[in-house]
Amino acid sequence: MSIKSIRIGTRGSPLALAQASDVKARLISAHDDLSDQDIEIVVIKTSGDRILDRHLMTAGGKGLFTKEIEEALIDGDIDCAVHSSKDMPTTLPQGLILSTFLPREDIRDAFISPVSERLMDLPENAILGTASLRRRALALRMRPDLQVVTFRGNVQTRLKKLAAGEANATFLAVAGLNRLGMPETITEYLPLDMFPPAPAQGAVTIEIREDDENTRSLLTPLHCSKTALEVTAERSLLKALDGSCRTPIAGYAKLSDDKIDLYACLLSMDGKEIFEEKGSASADLENAAQLGNELGESIRNSAGEAFFQTLKEQIAAEFE
């Protein structure tokens, strides 16, 4: 296949650039007629990167990390976009698709602290920095005495805030630290049964124009069907629960042989209430999506609309 160049759109954080560079390297490895000069990484600053003075919930949520990149993709300024899957809204702009998922990294969360080796060993009333409602709720479920402050910014920014003493501990995704070559930063790997991850955590996805068969074909050798099945189930769960930055949702799928297992939970802001579901389905994309939807609907029904209304009011009172 002959092509003059490929333009990869990405955010400009060190982690985003590492992920885009990985895609570039994989493309060169997969195609003999592609060289370093044929692939351009185009950095696009998103609204989410610019807004650092308030919580994303007050500004629009997950789509703030993808809006400008997707606009560039629709306009033809780039040929594909590399994203962290957990940043992706469950509904994409018309004409765009997630065509490719790279092999998934570690899906766990990392606890990071200069004062304690374990989350459970933090001093009483310690300050925890996180902007994630899920991480906040899970931490408070285990340690209701903790004082939570909002930490925004990329990996390096949050680590600098921690080093400056703005908090006693924080959480980051293990996958991101591994991709940045910073596993030594991790104080404790949080087990899945105690601290389940965000849906789609650890998975890098590539977005393209649906009608761009050339780019789709170039990306085909990079695609991991196992990751695609797991993330499909998890994103379907999110969609059923109207998942966003405004909802403390955790969940993960695991593919084994010809079966996909999915765990899902919804928490209250303080972690005192939790609604959990587990389920399994045969391993194909349609069944994975149906499984995620069924578990999400079951959790929504168990929690009731009053729960979501209370959650909305609590968030408005604290962040808006």
Kindly give the confidence (pLDDT) of every residue in the chain, 320 residues in length, as a single tens digit, with 9 standing for 90 and above. Answer: 445 689 999 999 999 999 999 999 999 999 999 999 999 999 998 866 655 555 555 545 566 778 899 999 999 999 999 999 998 999 999 999 999 999 999 999 999 999 999 999 999 999 999 999 999 999 999 999 999 999 888 899 999 999 999 999 999 999 999 999 999 999 999 999 999 999 999 999 999 999 999 999 999 999 999 999 999 999 999 999 976 557 899 999 999 889 999 999 999 999 999 999 999 999 999 999 999 999 999 999 999 999 999 998 888 888 76
Please give the single-letter amino acid code of residue 72: A
Domain 1-102+203-223 -> CATH class? alpha beta
Domains 1-102+203-223 and 109-189 belong to one CATH topology? yes
Residue of 53, 77, 87, 261 marked catalytic: 87
Give the neighbor-by-neighbor strand order of the sheet with 80-84: 39-43, 6-10, 80-84, 204-209, 96-101
Q: Alpha carbon 60 to chain centroid distance? A: 16
The pLDDT of residue 246 is 77
Q: With contact defined as beta carbons under 8 Å apart, do 271 and 139 qualify?
A: yes
What's the whole-model pTM score? 0.92
Q: With contact defined as beta carbons under 8 Å apart, do 172 and 113 qualify?
A: no
Helix or strand run (H / E) with residue 82: strand 80-84
132-141 residues labelled b (16+ CB within 10 A) or e (exposed): bbbbbbbbbb
Q: Alpha carbon 38 to chain centroid distance? A: 29
CATH of region 109-189, choose from 3.40.190.10, 1.10.12.10, 3.40.50.300, 2.50.20.10:
3.40.190.10
Our CA dihedral for 231, 311, 155, 8, rounded to 10 degrees, sits at 40
Domain 224-320 -> CATH class? alpha beta
Give the separation between CA 83 and CA 67, rounded to whole angstroms.
12
Question: What residue spans define the domains of the chain?
Answer: 1-102+203-223, 109-189, 224-320
Is 261 marked active-site? no
Q: With contact defined as beta carbons under 8 Å apart, do 236 and 122 qualify?
A: no
3-state secondary structure of 210: coil
